[in-house]
Structure 1
Amino acid sequence: MGEIGMDDKSLEMLEFPRIRQMIAELTSFSTSHELADFIRPLSNYEQVSLLLRRSAEARHLLGEESGFSVGFVKDFRDSARMAALGSVLEPQTLLEIHDTLASMRELRVSIARMSAELPLLWGIAKEIVELQQIEKDIADCL
Structure 2
Amino acid sequence: MTRTDALALIRRYYDAFNAGDARGMLACLTDDIEHRVNEAGHRIGKEKFAEFCGHMGVSYREQLKDMVIFANDEGTRGAAEFMVHGEYLKTDPGLPEAKGQSYLLPAGGFFEIRDGLISRITTFYNLNDWIQQVSR
- TM-score, normalised to structure 1's length? 0.26
Which is helix-richer, 1 or 2?
A: 1
- TM-score, normalised to structure 2's length? 0.27
Which is strand-richer, 1 or 2?
A: 2
Which one has a bigger Cα radius of gyration?
A: 1
